[in-house]
């Protein structure tokens, strides 16, 4: 808790000072003087010395319960369109799952006012520059190539060639490259285009 307190205090105050330098903070009324960098730095100084409290304690049901709770949000949006049931004068009606219940009774419906529904939905919208949990790790899309190159360097592993050279010349660059991960795409089968289905010609009646 002490380490998290120091770390969170430093990161928070550093980002707050950076936002102030970029002119993205606005002060009004009795706080208008904080627009001046010197005054703002003087006002910020006591916050670097006081204790910041980080709320951290053992979960009642153990770490497995925490992972089970977080795993429900790492690979999905706050609510999908399939769960929306109705929108009328009462508000928004949607389906939700009660994980504490068993069987069919765990699937229920709830109706919230439009403002309350939007408030709860926006709680799941991340600020700019943040990523969901599933975007982190060695194979995260934004830094996958850099991480793999660093790991191979530390392990002294030479990456395998994307294509095997033949006896006639050097390896050719694959024709199909995945635009998401940059890996070569392998053609498994080529499907022939089927002949168009046309209606049979109309037969003329014999005179």
CA atoms within a 13 Å half-sphere pointing along the CA-CB vector of 108:
10
Tens place of pLDDT per residue across the chain (207 aa): 888 888 989 999 999 999 999 998 888 888 899 999 999 999 999 998 888 887 777 888 888 888 887 777 666 677 888 899 999 999 999 999 888 888 888 889 999 999 999 999 988 887 777 766 655 567 677 777 888 888 888 888 887 765 444 444 445 555 677 777 777 777 777 777 665 545 445 444 444
Helix (H) / strand (E) element for 68: namely helix 63-71
Q: Which pLDDT score, from 0 to 100, does residue 165 have?
A: 46
Helix (H) / strand (E) element for 109: namely strand 107-112
Q: Which pLDDT score, from 0 to 100, does residue 58 have?
A: 82
Dist. CA 204–CA 8, nearest whole Å:
87
Q: Which pLDDT score, from 0 to 100, does residue 156 have?
A: 86
pTM: 0.37
Domain ranges of the chain: 2-48, 78-122
Q: Which pLDDT score, from 0 to 100, does residue 169 have?
A: 44
Of 4, 13, 3, nearest in space to 49 by CA: 13
* Residue 59 CB partners (closer than 8 Å, separation 6+): 65, 66
């Amino acid at each position: 808790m002490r380490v998290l307190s120091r770390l969170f205090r430093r990161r928070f105050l550093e980002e707050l000072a950076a936002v102030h330098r970029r002119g993205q903070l606005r002060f009004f009324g009795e706080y208008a003087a904080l627009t001046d960098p010197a005054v703002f730095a003087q006002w910020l100084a006591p916050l670097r010395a006081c204790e910041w409290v980080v709320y951290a304690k053992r979960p009642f049901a153990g770490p497995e319960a925490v992972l089970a709770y977080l795993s429900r949000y790492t690979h999905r949006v706050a609510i999908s369109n399939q769960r929306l049931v109705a929108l009328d004068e009462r508000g928004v009606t949607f389906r939700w799952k009660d994980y504490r219940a068993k069987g069919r009774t765990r699937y229920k419906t709830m109706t919230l006012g439009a403002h309350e529904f939007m408030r709860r939905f926006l709680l799941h919208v991340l600020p700019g520059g943040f990523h969901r949990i599933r975007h982190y790790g060695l194979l995260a899309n934004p830094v996958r190539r850099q991480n793999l190159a660093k790991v191979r360097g530390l392990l002294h592993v030479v990456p395998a060639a994307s294509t095997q050279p033949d006896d006639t010349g050097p390896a050719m660059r694959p024709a199909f490259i995945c635009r998401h991960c940059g890996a070569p795409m392998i053609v498994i089968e080529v499907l022939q285009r089927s002949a168009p289905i046309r209606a049979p010609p109309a037969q003329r009646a014999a005179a």
